[in-house]
Each structure stands twice: as C-alpha cells, then as structure tokens.
Structure 1
Amino acid sequence: MAVAALLSTTACQSDDGKGDAQKPGASATPSSATPSSAAPSSAPPSTTPPTTSAPKPSKPGKPGNGNGGDGDGGTTTVAACNDNDLSIATSAWRQDSGQHLLITATNFTDKACTLYHYPRIGFGAKIDGPIPAMGPKPKAIATIGPKQKAYAGLFLFRGGEQTVAVEAVSIGYQDRALGSNDDVAMLDVSFPKELGALNVGPNAKTTYWNRDLRAVEDILFRSGASGS
C-alpha cells in the first residue's frame, strides 16, 4: 500500500501494520537538495508507489545484521552511523491522508554502522525539533551493513489539529547514549516533487529505528500509538 516519493541524500545542513498491502520503500540517489518555500497546507501527498519492499529478517549475532544487542544499545561495538554513512529516502503510504512519513536509511559504505535509538527529527526552518519518540523499542538495535537499510516512521498530525506545511525533514543521529548529539546540527532532506509539501501538527512523533519495516508499520497503523 505504499506510496511515495523517493529521495536519498547526504543533504545540506540546517540548525537544527503489518499492513496487508503496506510495503513502502525507497529507490535512492544521493542528493544535496535544500528545502524550498513551503507549499499550501492543503497540498496532497504523493501517489507514486515506491519500488522496494521490506527487508528479510537477518540471522542474529553478526555485525551489520541489526541484531547486535537490545534496544538500549546492547553489547555491539559497531560504530554509530552518521551523515557520511547514509543515504536517506522519504516516502508516504497510499490512502493515508498524508499523516505519516517513512524514512529509509541505506548504508552506502563498505562497513557496518548502527542507528541507535530513534532519529532526531525536525522540519527545516519551520519546526526545530527534535520531536519525541513513540512506540516500543525494537527487539534489536538497527545495525546495518553495506547496502542494508533501516526504517523510521513519522506520525505527522491528528485530524483537526492546526498544522504547518513543510517541504523538508531535518535528520540527526544518536550515539549509544540516549539523547546524545543534541548539539550537532541536523541535515535537511527536501521532499521530492512527487511528494510535495506535508502538514505537521504540534504532536508529531517518530518511531525507533528498525530493520523490520513491518514492525514500523505496526506501530504507526495497528497499535494506535500515533493517536496517543
């Protein structure tokens, strides 16, 4: 059921479900696009379907397979991912009214890295962030090897809320310590033209990083956590 639009980037700097048919993903090409002026808040979400599907579960115990420890960081010694390790793509879901956004991070280096906890998220110059986390921690931390992917889902707004139209998401990454890197500027990733502007309310939240796309969809669409 996945829709969307795709963009991957190592972008420019700013200040800072299991759904029966939901399988959004990303076909990413690095880009350095910066956000443009915001579109009207009534702009519709994209209806162009993404091209990749959720990853298959990995075998436990090896670096880069996403199972190096628990959701608090575990015992893995794999370095934390940063902007130089990742390309980022954004996409949305069909029949979703633009209330959610999927972020897909792909490791384009030749070594494994770990996406700890949840992404630090803002929305360009419109909303500084970081927005709070939602849902449970994953069973395993998101360690990704070369060309492997991890996912985070964003809940953007509830019906009836006052919203702001945004055309970029700002992303930062944590180290092993929860809440780390708050002093590091987030990078802006502009939405592709197919996605257009999205509306963000005052209660936006992000899931934890997860190697399992279906687990992210469960939190966003099945658990009701986005409405809490």
Structure 2
Amino acid sequence: MLRTFGVVLATTTLTLAGWAGTLTGAQAQPAPAATPTPGPTYTCPPALPVSGQFLSATTTSITIRYSMLLSPPCGYDPPITVVLFASREDATAWRNPVASAVSGPERYGDLTVGGLTPDSEYWFRFSAGDKHDPYVVSGPVRTLAVSSAACQATVTIDNRWTGGYAATVSVRNTSQQTLNGWQVTWRWSGDERISALWNGVASTSGADVTVRNASYNGTLTPGGGTTFGMLVWTSAVTGGLTLTCGR
C-alpha cells in the first residue's frame, strides 16, 4: 500500500514539473522588432529652381536667357521649355500658350521663340518634362514694330546744371539683320556744344551733329542695343533733342 502511494506521488510530481516547464515556455514573449530610425528630411535651399530674363527681340521673335539653378528634387534637369502667352492671366493659369522653344542639354543658355506677331506683348514661363515651373511669370516683353529704319535712338538727360547737362543716348537695332555700324544725327537749337563724349565718335558741321559708333560697339544684333554719353555746354535750358538713327 505504501509502495503504491509512493509511485502515484512520484508520477504526480513529474507531471506537475512537466506542466510547470510548459507554462514557463508559454509565458516567454518574442523580442519586439526594432523600429527603423527615419532618415533626415532633405530641405531645398531658398532659391528659384530656374531663372530667365529678356535678352532681345525682332519683329517676329523674342530671345530669353535662362539658367537652371537647381537639380531634382528641388529643380529640373534639361531640356527646358520656354512658353509664351499673350496675357498675364493666361500665363498665370498656364492656358492658351501661343509659342514655345526647347533647349538642348545645357543648363543655361539662350532660347529664341519665333513665329510671333510684330509690336505685340508676351509673357513667358518655363516647364521641364511634365513639370510646370510654379514660380517664374515674366513680362511683358515686346516684339519690334515693322519699321524701315535700321535703328532707333533716344536721349535721356541724366543731370542738369547752370551752363550745361549730361545726357545718355540709347541706340537700338530695330531691323531684322545684324547692324554693322550706326550713326545718330541731330541739330542744335541754340549755342550747345559737346565738351566730352564717350562710347562714340562725334563730328559737327555748324549746328548739325553726327555721332558714329566707336570701334567696339558698332555691331548690333536684331533687337540689341548700346549707349553713348556726352557732356553738353549751353547758355540756355533746352528741350529734348530730335534724333535720327541710321546706318
């Protein structure tokens, strides 16, 4: 009787020990997976990804100088397209484009858009691939009017004083061909005389004055321009000069 009870007790002890081992294993939990640490967020510099400026015009074309300042993800890769619109409203809304030109692989350069209407205003924007640049809306830029004159000259009085003034004359090629040499003529209305002149060569005959280009500024591309300046002595306050520009 005692032997039987001992066997039963031993068996029960082994069973409990086995159950306790099983319970201990069930309570063990797998180690949690490590949470990946997020990488730093790339911040784009505070700069426009592309810039453009009007360079020159003819009666039927406009040339824009562009520069792609940033690469993706903050900017664009070439080629880039300059797109012209007939109004600022259309340009802002990216609707009704009237003409465009596509660059080569260069990140900066000049783009000429042709097939335009003489003496008309345009606004320009940029796109690259399927992306419309959201920042640059520039204009208006204007094509030249149809004119028989090869060039146009305008005068600006920079400063006046008793006995004279300083003036700047702007010369612009209004033809569709490169201008190799120009001259500006006018007639004095009183006792004016040139005391100093730069960026040009002056000659006079009585009250008539002719200023020709210097050796370094006589070649003007269509729509291109240059300036010359002068100091003028006079005993009276005079009005503006009537200038004629030609080859």
Structure with greater helix share of residues: 2
With structure 1 as the length reference, what TM-score do the two structures score?
Answer: 0.30
Q: Which entry has the higher C-alpha Rg, 1 or 2?
A: 2
Structure with greater strand share of residues: 2
